Amino acid sequence: RVEAWRGIYIHKNGLGRVAVLAAVVFLLLAKSEPRRRYLWWCGLILTVGLLIGSRSATALVVLIALSLFVPVIKLLRLRYDLAVPLLLMFVMVTGALTWFISANVEKLLEIMGRDVTLTGRTYLWEVVVYMASQRPWLGYGYGAFWVGWDGPSALVWQSISFPASHAHNSFLDLWLALGFIGIGLFALSYFSAFGRTLELMKKAGEYLALWPTIYLLFMLLYSVSESSILRQNSILWVVYVAVVLGVGQRNNSFDVRAKLGVSRVVPLHTDI
C-alpha cells in the first residue's frame, strides 16, 4: 500500500487541507491575471498533485464541492429573472445527486477507502453529543474539555478506545467549549459576514472578489469532519478572522488590484 504524503504536517489531512486552500488561491489568480496565468496554473497543478498524494478523502470532496459552488456564486450576479430559474435547476440537480449518494453511500465510501463510520468519527460524535448535552448552554469552557485523562475527555476516551484530541467536528467542539451560546454567536458572525461577502462580490465584479465567499464556504465544509473554529495555532482560524474583519469594514472599497498588486484583473463575467 502506498503511504500517504503528509509533508511538514503531523497528519495527511493537514497537507490535504492546505492543498485545497492553495488550489483555490491559484485558481482565482489564474482566472484574474492573464499575464501570469501559466505560473498560477502550474501552481494549481502542483497543489492538486499534493492533494492526491495526501490521499485525503475529505480534502478531495471539499475541493470538488468548492468547484461546484463557483458557478453558483456567479449566478447571483445575474438578473433575478435569469438567476432564479438557474438556481432552481441547480437545486434540483443537487437534490438528485444527494439522493444518488445516499443510496450508494457504502459503495462510494468503499471506493474512497472509507467505511460508513467515517474512520470511527460517528462513534466519537455519538459520545461527544452525550457529553455536550450535560452542559448544553455554556459548555465546559474554552480548552477545558480535551485535557487527556485528567478531564472530561477521559470518559470519551474510555468509550471509543482511542485518545482523540478533538471531536473532528467544529460545531461539536464549539458546543463542548462554549455551549449553545457560543454556537449562536459564531453563527451570527458567520452569516452576517457571508452576506457582506456577496455584496462585495456584486460591487467588485472580479474573480478575486470571490475569495471571501469561497473561503467561508471552505471553512463551513471542513467544519463537518475537522475542527477549525477557535483552534489555537491554526492558520485557518487566523484567515477566517481576517476575512470577517476585512468584509466588516465600513469603508470597504475592496480594491483587489491595489491590495494584491495585480496589474490587470479580469471581470467576473468574462471567461478565459
CA dihedral for 108, 111, 112, 118, sign (positive or negative): positive
Q: Tell me which residue of 64, 75, 80 sits closest to 218, measured CA to CA.
A: 64
Sign of CA dihedral 28, 69, 218, 20: negative
The enclosing H or E element of 25 equals helix 12-32
- Taking only the tens of pLDDT, the chain with its 272 residues reads 557 898 888 888 899 999 999 999 999 898 888 888 899 999 999 999 999 999 888 888 889 888 887 777 767 666 666 666 766 676 676 666 655 655 555 666 666 666 667 777 889 999 999 999 999 999 999 999 999 898 899 999 999 888 888 999 999 999 999 999 999 999 999 999 998 988 887 777 677 888 999 999 999 999 988 888 998 888 899 999 999 998 877 555 445 444 444 445 455 554 43
Say which residues have a Cβ less than 8 Å from residue 143's Cβ, sequence separation at least 6.
177, 232
Alpha-carbon dihedral of residues 177, 182, 183, 187, nearest 10 degrees? -140
- Burial class from Cβ neighbours inside 10 Å (0-12, 13-18, 19+) for residue 8 reads exposed
